[in-house]
Amino acid sequence: MGKEPKELWTEVDHFFEGLLLVPDPVMDAVSRSAVEAGLPPIAVSPAQGKLLHLLARIAGAKKILELGTLAGYSTIWMARAVVPGGRVVTLEADPKHAEVSRKNFAAAGLAEVIELRLGKAIESLPRLAAEGAGPFDLIFIDADKANIPEYYNWAKKLSHPGTVIVIDNVVREGAVTDPSNKDPDVQGVRRLHEMLAEESRAPRPGVAATTIQTVGVKGYDGFTIARIAES
Ligand code: SAH
Ligand code: DHB
Ligand code: MG
């Protein structure tokens, strides 16, 4: 009997983690806190967390915005990447998730770097814009999936030329290609790609984007990476 695909993907993820990710008691404690609080096991994987960290480093990010905090696992990966004096703003709707993640930010010594805003992202985003909180150098969209098109529009408003926008969970085990799928999450990621397609093909493209399918400990999914163009 061969291995189930997910079993193999998980082993391979663990192989690379063992080689490329240094033991990290703080991150391990964040993961444990999520389990202990009964939060869903949907944080980015360690390898994906490090990818977000590397993207932030490559971009020289000083200001990062995240939609969807959960226990703060991805938040901490990114907060550790900002240049000195940098900040991460993370938006979370669930008070319990906010409480767990705020404890984790303090334990990680990042309470001064990370600002969590409790509330629905669709309400926090216009407030951030009104306050002039942007532009952000990196924006990670990882909250509810049905609203991804709206979140992408807000992300653009909070961007500058060169801002990197990463959107998680856009492949949905391949369901993204099915135009008849009625799942609002699938419709959200389909609409995102229609928007990106239209913008990419404009005479002066507003964005350059690619979507990468992923397998690993979280199964089969994928993420989009977009870069806002010079205006
Ligand atoms: N980025 C996290 C995982 C986020 S899971 C990580 O990788 O570690 C998605 C999170 O989005 C959950 O905590 C959920 O409560 C939150 N969420 C769902 N709908 C939301 C909304 N409308 N506004 C803000 N946060 C929302
Ligand atoms: C799921 C995975 C995610 O990365 C996320 O942000 C939300 C949900 C999931 O597998 O259900
Ligand atoms: Mg996600």
Is the CB of residue 47 less than 8 Å from the CB of residue 24?
A: no
- 13-45 pLDDT, tens digit each: 999 999 999 999 999 999 999 999 999 999 999
Of residues 209, 219, 217, the one with CA closest to residue 189: 209
Neighbours of ion ligand 3 (CB under 5 A): 142, 168-169
d(CA 79, CA 96): 21
Between the CA of 128 and the centroid of ligand 3 the distance, in Å, is 22
Residue 169 zone, left/alpha/beta (φ > 0; ψ -120 to 50; rest): left
Between the CA of 153 and the centroid of ligand 2 the distance, in Å, is 21
Question: Which residue positions in the chain have pLDDT lower than 70?
Answer: 1
Is the CB of residue 70 less than 8 Å from the CB of residue 37?
A: no
CA-nearest residue for atom 4, ligand 2, is 42
Between the CA of 203 and the centroid of ligand 1 the distance, in Å, is 35
Of residues 140, 130, 63, 73, the one with CA closest to residue 105: 73
d(CA 140, CA 75): 9
10 Å Cβ neighbour count for 25? 7
Of residues 49, 82, 48, the one with CA closest to residue 65: 82
pLDDT at 2: 82
What angle, 0 to 180 degrees and rounded to 10, lies between the N-to-C axes of helices 5-20 and 46-58? Answer: 50
Of residues 158, 187, 186, 168, the one with CA closest to residue 225: 168
Q: Which of 30, 35, 69 to mutate to test the pocket of ligand 1 (most atoms within 8 A of CB)?
A: 69
Between the CA of 205 and the centroid of ligand 2 the distance, in Å, is 30
Ligand 2: residues within 6 Å at CB? 42, 142, 168-169
Helix (H) or strand (E) holding 207: strand 207-216
Rounded to 5 degrees, φ, ψ at 29 are -65, -35
Query: For residue 140, what are the contacts with CB-CB under 8 A and spacing of at least 6?
Result: 52, 64, 65, 66, 67, 74, 78, 166, 168
Of residues 131, 230, 146, the one with CA closest to residue 187: 146
- pTM here is 0.98
Is the CB of residue 52 less than 8 Å from the CB of residue 129?
A: no
pLDDT at 231: 83
